[in-house]
Chains A and B, each alone.
Chain A
Amino acid sequence: MEQQNTATAHHVLPLSLYFTVAGVLFVLTGITVAISFVHFGEFNIIVAMLIATVKASLVALYFMHLKYDNKLFMAVFLSSLIFLGLFLTLTMTDTMHRGDIDPIKEHPIKKEAVFYNK
């Protein structure tokens, strides 16, 4: 099964590995569907994203060969996720806090400030 290529020393993964990964992906898909029928409230999305991340990692590491290739490729790919995360997180500082200041604005101005004593 394992064959060394003269030119590029590419190593051939065994057939069983591919089918195992595919099998695990199928099982995880089933799990993620089944779990969605159980109500964990806020946690549903976290669980779903965790399972999706595991599935994605399997595809990336084995089908896309990231586990066996130059570590640079993994760094490149991960960086895209990090920057996407930055975009979502920093924008959420707006999304989640829009209008927060409105109740504060509704208070009358505090007249104790020295400014008003002139």
Chain B
Amino acid sequence: MEHAEKKPSYLQHHFADMEQQTDAAKLGMWVFLVTEVLLFGGLFGFYTFYRAWYPEMFMEAHKYLDVAMGTTNTFVLITSSLTMALAIRAMQLGKKKQTIAYLAGTLFFAGVFLVIKYFEYSHKIELGMLPGKLYFFDGIQAANPHIFFSVYFTMTGLHGIHVLIGMTIIGWVMVRTMRDDFSPEYYNPIELTGLYWHLVDLIWIFLFPLLYLIG
């Protein structure tokens, strides 16, 4: 056992050095993101198979989605990804206040995303464009329009839950930053949080055209 160098407090006992620890953590996070891709992938399957069976219904039903709100949300989420990446960069440079500011910015944009979603959802709920048995909107001619909204609500709903989870994790990492847990030598948890948050953005990048822009 080497006692020559003082081991940092954040180095866990079963790792030889920080590089091994951070590499392992990042690998673990990427593997976890794989599970998220497959989880959402099931819903992308739901979308694909039903769009293949009911192409005209999808075409007609999707027109009732608000493209302006969806587009705005896309810009909002991309911005939040930018601020998240900049937060990591700030801590790489040791700038604690900047890190906190960018993390707060990420939370802010995530919040805006959810607020816009809230308006979208409540509008649909009011009009009866609901999933499955709850559906009661009159205006769509094609058969089984509730299927589109089942797809819409499950996909955006699961995505929204992940936004909430992401916000919680970002909040926690922000608290840890304020507590001086991080430095240019150790900012791994912020990186891992960033990976998770970027995945949430990635999923929306595909959700948005598939649901809102069928054409």
A and B: interacting chains? yes
The answer to whether the Cβ of A109 comes within 8 Å of any Cβ in the partner chain is no
| Cross-chain contact B34 with A63 (CB below 8 angstroms) | no
Does B41 sit within 8 A of A, measured CB to CB?
A: yes
Give A48 to B215 CA distance when docked, in angstroms.
9
| Contact count A vs B, C-beta below 8 Å | 136
Contact of A40 among B194, B198, B201, B215 (CB under 8 A): B215
How many residues of B are counted as interface, with CB atoms below 8 angstroms from the partner's CB atoms?
49
* Contact call A48/B213, Cβ cutoff below 8 A: yes
Which residues in B have their C-beta under 8 angstroms from that of A25? 78
Q: Classify the secondary structure of B's interface with A.
A: helix
Binary A-proximity of B45-65 (CB < 8 A = 1, otherwise 0)? 100110011000000000000
Decide if B44 is an interface residue (CB 8 Å cutoff).
Answer: yes
Which chain A residues lie closer than 8 Å to B210 at the CB level?
45, 48
Query: Could you tell me how many residues of chain A have their Cβ less than 8 Å away from some Cβ of chain B?
Result: 53
The reply to whether the CB of A72 lies closer than 8 angstroms to some CB of chain B is: yes
A contact face: mostly helix, strand, loop, or mixed: helix
Beta-carbon contact of B89 and A13 below 8 Å: yes
B165 within 8 A of A: no
Q: In whole angstroms, what is the CA distance A63 to B3 when docked?
A: 38
**A52 to B37 CA separation, bound complex (whole angstroms):** 15
| A66 to B23 Cα, complex, angstroms | 13
Task: Chain A residues near B41: list those with CB within 8 A.
Answer: 80, 84, 87-88
Which residue of the partner chain A has the closest CB to B206?
A52
Chain B nearest CB: distance from A16 CB in Å? Answer: 12
1/0 contact string of B68-92 vs chain A (CB within 8 Å): 0001001100110110111001001
